[in-house]
Structure 1
């Protein structure tokens, strides 16, 4: 079992890197293929565990899956085996994959019933699924949880459009409800809908399939139900979390890196947030160029008070990049308060950074103050374990910038979200091996 990366840090990197397709978009788009019996072709699919598991799960339930190239597949959900959802195989596979919740909306919409095992996944606090279920109930679905079996059974033989005000702008919740509503009778209005680029991608794809969704990109979606959807082709956006990770990597290691084909207009405030840490970012065509920098200085607010960077629902700053910002701030000049509002327990990996020599005060489970070292002191390599996908990559960036050898265990967590990350970093000159 290959389960650790060994990194010799402190080397400057150089070159070009192409971001993978967006993981969080993939889980929605791949679930949407269940809404039609016709063929759907999807390209720029990332080759990562969470996505491959979902593709495998689609195959198990009767979808005809064909791989046309490394990142392009066709899916034809003409003959779905509905008995599969009562099986032990589904329980073990569906239960191990957080993304499996995303198949529920499409199944309800098309077949009027579904069952789902209680999902698992990341250790980043309580990720509630209430938003999904409350939305389905408002559309007319009835739930029955069986604690002995560990299954939720859902009857949705008569879904009707309705007004839904979401209690939180959950991306997966919004996506799931949208997929259920496109085939419901009548009009559904979703207020406080998530409006991430990934969700916009899903809605545009559904419209190409024959859905009638208006308000895409806003937090108010209106969906007029249709009786059936057709096949389509879809290309996924590059992963903005990867793009942010590579910006941070370049700054932290003082490297000159070009990130190719980033779909810049879809990145929202991500580039500007890194600029607030003093990182130079140049746009060349649709590529981001990060020049080699020996120093970067955190801005203060206009009145001179300490910079705060907090996450917020889109178009705010994505929580998935907050751990990257925290790590990159370690070697900046100046101080910054990192405020993780949307999840608890996501900052607990700072103890590893402290062991490496970072100056961080963990105020509480949601807030950490980073006092930048301004590259006066290099971090030192240590052995550590990755608690979740994003912290894992943050620790990887820290290790690449550190002096000496670091070992990162539990890299399965990293590989759930980043494809062939060691090979791609090697191509930039990183000294990283699997052990």
Structure 2
């Protein structure tokens, strides 16, 4: 896998066949971090083989955990002999800066060893993503922290975490995960109100319970956790990645293709299928598969009173912000109009200028809202040269390029590789004409 690179995409070809989503990226980052909570082995299955996940596994190995690669998607991590002083080394700081998931390593290290550090994390350039929820939550549980402005590092210490009542100031998935992982080894009871309740966080909680944690309220926004002295090993399997599933639904619609998405865990997808159905995408549910038949046209629904449909993101069980860019791209070739309202991040819509250059009819109202006037496939998009700004916008541009007439060039595909495993090879298996340079 290259550190950077380019996709050359010849668009305008219909695809067909079956595709299986990878394991969930966002779940994997939480689960790998949680392996540091125990000295016993934890077997993790259905891991996506992508940059962000592999970087976090390397980070855990750097701390001294024994990492056994069973196969490409299975790893056994034994965090028995952790060198907690390594967190202050230049090597750790350099590696942790490159991945936003490193923020979730703090809680396990604090819970087991009483100290941790965090360089300002990297990841997507999608606007300001505050760390306050993490820092204030850990502080409430009894951790002190200070910021070293010269090295851009947060340093954490505790004489022992203590259970408490926490009303989260925002519904942060990674913030909730950090607090949950800290609370399971804290003394006494922790109550977390306004907790995130995404399926991936539910998966983390269920894994911790198998390890011996005591957690009530899994799947709700009110969690009660009784601290325990130690956790044991376990086995865990990732859910399929719901963002990939939504991306493949969008790909089928835009290219007019007949695609079956296999083994999707339909009961864990929330509003995702219904939202794409409101954009006019037909879907058949066969067991645990989603079949999208080839459609020459699809029509955006209106509200019951005839008003223009609005799609907006919200914390789970709302529509995930990670699929807003895909929904926007799907609307380009629909019949009708839709307002896309990206509430949770302020810079995720700035990639639409590339779509406009391709021929899309989009009005960018402000950093949070865009109106899409569907082309109804009367005119195809045209291929252009562009750059991937972040993971989700990158795949949205790739979908647009596959539906376009002519050849597109997408640079900075490292951003796509961060979240999508071997995406070009898997799409070529469906008939896509895409090469990696």
TM-score range, shorter chain: over 0.9
143-152 vs 406-415, which moves further: 143-152
> Any gaps of 5 or more consecutive residues in structure 2?
none
Please name the residue that 1:154 is paired with.
Answer: 156
Please name the residue that 1:14 is paired with.
Answer: 16
Please name the residue that 2:28 is paired with.
Answer: 26
Please name the residue that 1:375 is paired with.
Answer: 377
CA deviations over 1:310-351 (Å, ceiling 9, x no partner): 000000000000000000000000000000000001000000
- Contact 1:113–1:157 (Cα < 8 Å) also in 2: no
Among 202, 205, 213, the alignment partner of 1:203 is 205
Please name the residue that 1:60 is paired with.
Answer: 62
Matched ranges for 1:180-259 at <5 A: 180-259=182-261
Among 289, 292, 298, the alignment partner of 1:290 is 292
Among 307, 331, 344, the alignment partner of 1:305 is 307
Q: State the distance in 2 between where 1:385 and 1:118 align.
A: 25
Report the 3-state secondary structure (helix = DSSP H, G, I; strand = E; otherwise coil) of the residue aligned with 1:127.
coil
Q: State the distance in 1 between where 2:338 and 2:152 align.
A: 44
Among 30, 35, 38, the alignment partner of 1:36 is 38
Please name the residue that 1:325 is paired with.
Answer: 327
Shift of 1:150: 2.0
CA deviations over 1:276-330 (Å, ceiling 9, x no partner): 0010011101000000000100000000000000000000000000000000000
Please name the residue that 2:344 is paired with.
Answer: 342
Report the 3-state secondary structure (helix = DSSP H, G, I; strand = E; otherwise coil) of the residue aligned with 2:134.
helix
Q: State the distance in 1 between where 2:398 and 2:177 align.
A: 31
Among 173, 176, 184, the alignment partner of 1:174 is 176
- Contact 1:392–1:414 (Cα < 8 Å) also in 2: yes
1:399 aligns with 2:401: yes
Please name the residue that 1:316 is paired with.
Answer: 318
Shift of 1:169: 0.5
- State the TM-score, normalized to the length of structure 1: 0.99
> Any gaps of 5 or more consecutive residues in structure 1?
none
Q: State the distance in 2 between where 1:363 and 1:140 align.
A: 44
CA deviations over 1:200-259 (Å, ceiling 9, x no partner): 000000000000000000000000000000000000000000000000000000000000
Please name the residue that 1:139 is paired with.
Answer: 141
Report the 3-state secondary structure (helix = DSSP H, G, I; strand = E; otherwise coil) of the residue aligned with 2:346.
coil
Q: State the distance in 1 between where 2:271 and 2:284 align.
A: 15
Please name the residue that 2:263 is paired with.
Answer: 261
Shift of 1:70: 1.5
Please name the residue that 1:276 is paired with.
Answer: 278
RMSD of aligned alpha carbons: 0.7
Q: State the distance in 2 between where 1:60 and 1:143 align.
A: 23
Please name the residue that 1:49 is paired with.
Answer: 51
Shift of 1:360: 0.3
Shift of 1:189: 0.3
Report the 3-state secondary structure (helix = DSSP H, G, I; strand = E; otherwise coil) of the residue aligned with 1:346.
coil
CA deviations over 1:93-127 (Å, ceiling 9, x no partner): 01111110110011111111111112122110000
Please name the residue that 1:358 is paired with.
Answer: 360
The runs of at least 4 aligned residues of structure 1 exceeding 3 Å deviation read none
Report the 3-state secondary structure (helix = DSSP H, G, I; strand = E; otherwise coil) of the residue aligned with 1:288.
strand
CA deviations over 1:351-372 (Å, ceiling 9, x no partner): 0000000000000000000000
CA deviations over 1:31-83 (Å, ceiling 9, x no partner): 00000000000000000000000001111110000011110010000000111
- Contact 1:111–1:157 (Cα < 8 Å) also in 2: no
- Contact 1:326–1:370 (Cα < 8 Å) also in 2: yes
- State the TM-score, normalized to the length of structure 2: 0.99
Q: State the distance in 2 between where 1:152 and 1:343 align.
A: 24
